């Protein structure tokens, strides 16, 4: 065990898991081992943890549901931080105040039960609120940028400040937080509209049905691999390039939806990365289109 882990435990900042297989914490079910995962109890504990990591020069990363990350097969010699304890929720009128660690899918169901519309797009997105705001998660021509009113953020100098929507730089699958990773989402206020419970439930049901029919949910994956180029669909380009069903090791470009890479069993991170590179190079060669990765590489340096 790293010497600093025993020191970390003495800080009494929350639950700590050591020598953790990242296969349990990523939706791809790939990756090496992490030295530790820490679950801070509150903002004070989070600040204490960050100060410790920076003082000791230990690398760290925020980890939501691991639904958009490609960890390497190497061990992660650092601290992964999960904000599961940041799961408060308050509903007042058309607004929901919710912690960064709350499940986005669960929140979409809470909104429906409270006759609030605007979160239907999130019914099938397996992320946390913090992760969804970080990458501006979306579907069905909507995203977090349309519904976030304010976000409470921890700054690099440990101040808690509130950002308005216009300050968060929401664009297609990106945000201010994605470009400034030292700023950490703690809590958000979402502004929804009043709607009809039954109609909202029907929309969610239909979209989940479409998701099941069009996406390879029977295998581990991390959702869409690439952003859609302007006026095009990444999956269509990959399919036309003849790569649908292409396998490298235990990873495969899905034969159901070509913008998904799936783990068919014991895929390595390297297998996934090779398929990503192959898709990018082939589509560039055939159609002169650059496929931009929607997912994030972690621990490949």
Active-site residues, by number, are 173, 224, 294
- Angle, alpha carbons 32-34-40 (nearest 5°): 150
Q: Rounded to 5 degrees, what are φ and ψ at 296? A: -120, 130
Q: How, if at all, do strands 95-99 and 89-92 pair?
A: antiparallel
Can you tell me the distance from the alpha carbon of 96 to that of 189, in angstroms, rounded to the nearest whole number?
Answer: 6
Estimate the crossing angle of helix 197-214 against helix 104-113, to 10 degrees.
150
Sheet holding 251-253, edge to edge: 247-248, 251-253, 261-263
Q: Is 261 helix (H, G, I), strand (E, B) or coil?
A: strand
Q: Which of 274, 239, 267 is closest to 251 using CA atoms?
A: 267
Q: Is 42 helix (H, G, I), strand (E, B) or coil?
A: coil
Burial level of 242, CB count in 10 A (0-12/13-18/19+)? exposed
């Amino acid at each position: 065990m790293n010497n600093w882990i025993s020191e970390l435990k003495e800080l009494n900042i929350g639950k700590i898991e050591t020598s953790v297989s990242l296969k349990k914490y990523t939706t791809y079910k790939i990756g090496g081992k992490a030295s530790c995962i820490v679950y801070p109890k509150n903002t004070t504990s989070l600040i204490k943890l960050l100060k410790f990591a920076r003082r000791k020069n230990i690398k760290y990363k925020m980890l939501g549901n691991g639904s958009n990350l490609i960890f390497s097969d190497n061990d992660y010699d650092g601290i992964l931080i999960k904000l599961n304890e940041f799961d408060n929720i308050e509903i007042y009128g058309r607004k929901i105040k919710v912690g960064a660690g709350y499940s986005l899918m669960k929140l979409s169901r809470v909104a429906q039960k409270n006759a609030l519309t605007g979160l239907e797009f999130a019914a099938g997105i397996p992320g946390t609120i913090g992760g969804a705001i970080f990458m501006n998660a979306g579907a069905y021509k909507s995203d977090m940028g349309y519904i976030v009113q304010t976000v409470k953020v921890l700054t690099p100098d440990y101040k808690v400040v509130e950002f308005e929507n216009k300050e968060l730089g929401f664009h297609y699958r990106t945000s201010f937080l994605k470009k400034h990773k030292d700023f950490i989402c703690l809590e958000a206020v979402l502004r929804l509209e009043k709607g009809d419970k039954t109609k909202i439930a029907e929309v969610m049901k239909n979209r989940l049905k479409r998701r099941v029919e069009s996406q390879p949910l029977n295998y581990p994956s991390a959702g869409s691999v690439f952003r859609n180029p302007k006026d095009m669909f990444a999956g269509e380009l990959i399919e036309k390039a003849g790569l649908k069903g292409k396998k490298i090791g235990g990873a495969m470009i899905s034969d159901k939806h070509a913008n998904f890479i799936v783990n068919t069993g014991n895929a390595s991170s390297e297998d996934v990365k090779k398929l990503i590179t192959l898709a990018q190079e082939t589509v560039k060669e055939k159609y002169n289109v650059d496929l931009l990765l929607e997912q994030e590489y972690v621990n490949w340096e």
